Amino acid sequence: MAKDRIFSAVQPTGDLHVGNYLGAIKNWVKLQNSGKYDCFFCVVDYHSLTGDMDAKKRHSQVFKTVAELLALGIDPEKSTFFIQSEVPEHTELAWIFNTVTPMSELLRMTQFKDKSGDQKKNINVGLFDYPVLQSADILLYKATHVPVGQDQVQHVELTRDIARWFNNRYEDFFPEAKAKLTEFPKVMSLLNPEKKMSKSYGDAHVINLSDSPEIIEKKIKKAVTDSGKGKAPGAENLMMLLKSFADKGTFKQFVEAGKKGEVRYGDLKKAVSDSISLYFNDFREKREGFLVDEVKTRKIMSTGAEKARLVAIETMDRVRKIVGVR
Ligand code: TRP
């Protein structure tokens, strides 16, 4: 029997951070290595055009993101790993999906509302249409399982709706895709722990996987712990990071201390930064290797795109016929 197909993607926001890792990439690697799935992973550079990034920066960020994913263990021998713009069928399918998607449904998307708030001067049609391109990413490969964090569930549900709208209007062709939630979907910002860890608030809010041990220590030191309102989402966030990156013994020690109300935030912070530094030691070295050997890394990606296109071309051949343009 054929394996279930997985599709997931990240935007080329440059340096991946701990939130991206725990919320998504860690799980990708696990799914890939389980051998149970046919995995497609993608760096979505066309999605990034909807933001404010300039072209030069984008070009280098895409490459960096690729190097980082390879260094984290995305293995081009086991998965189909590629850059979205190297497979032009993504945007072609998105156009067709645009014509079966009601505007009213896109107006409900919370990410669109959030991002419109973040970039008030650049509320472009692409930002509005972003989830349709995302649906095309997934359905181009007829993927059925989409490993994502909680914040992307709405987009995966839309993907399912789009498949249905297409199938109802034309013929039964696209499968239903389901979100596959990860164990730690939400890592909070260091400085504003009420919000999800995101680069858009600034570099001090996130721990990049490539941050040196010195930088990690500095950032964690400044992390907010108590909000002063009886709640401590920042401290909870630090405990979650400790649980994710420290050895079990260390984590347990802090849990016990916490029960007695004896946790010193200084100690907790030190333990968190030490464990993160150690965890990504090997990653930092491998990342450097992929960055330095640019020709080889780019070749890996073009080979990945060729592999992806074998499927993409087949889907689009059928879709063009189904909608009556060929
Ligand atoms: N929107 C996703 C994010 O912001 C990225 C993405 C684009 C994606 N296309 C996708 C995720 C397809 C899963 C499947 O994280």
70 has a pLDDT exceeding 80: yes
Confirm or reject: Cβ of 145 under 6 Å from ligand 1: no
Using DSSP, state whether 70 is helix, strand or coil: helix
Structure confidence at residue 286 (pLDDT): 98
pLDDT digits (tens, 9 = 90+) for 267-309: 999 999 999 999 999 999 999 999 999 999 999 999 999 999 9
104 burial level (CB within 10 Å; 0-12, 13-18, 19+): exposed
Structure confidence at residue 139 (pLDDT): 98
Residues forming CATH 1.10.240.10 domain(s) in the chain: 199-283
Residues 273-312: b if buried by 16+ CB within 10 A, e if exposed = bbbbbeebeebbeebeebbeeeeebeebbeebbebbbebb
Q: Which residue has the higher pLDDT, 24 or 313?
A: 313
pLDDT digits (tens, 9 = 90+) for 104-140: 999 999 999 999 998 999 999 999 999 999 999 999 9
CATH T-level assignment (fold) for domain 4-186+294-323: Rossmann fold (3.40.50)
> What is the rounded average pLDDT of the residues 51-61?
95
Structure confidence at residue 228 (pLDDT): 57
CATH number assigned to the domain with residue range 199-283, chosen from the 4 options 3.40.50.450, 1.10.287.810, 3.90.1150.10, 1.10.240.10: 1.10.240.10
Which of 40, 47, 133 for mutating ligand 1's site (highest number of atoms within 8 Å of CB)? Answer: 47
Quote the ligand 1 centre to 131 CA distance (angstroms): 8
Active site residue 115: yes
Atom of ligand 1 nearest to the CA of 130: 1
pLDDT digits (tens, 9 = 90+) for 212-271: 999 999 999 999 987 555 668 999 999 999 999 999 999 999 999 999 988 899 999 999
Residues forming CATH 3.40.50.620 domain(s) in the chain: 4-186+294-323
Quote the ligand 1 centre to 226 CA distance (angstroms): 32
Quote the ligand 1 centre to 220 CA distance (angstroms): 28
pLDDT digits (tens, 9 = 90+) for 142-188: 999 999 888 899 999 999 999 999 999 999 999 999 999 876 657 89
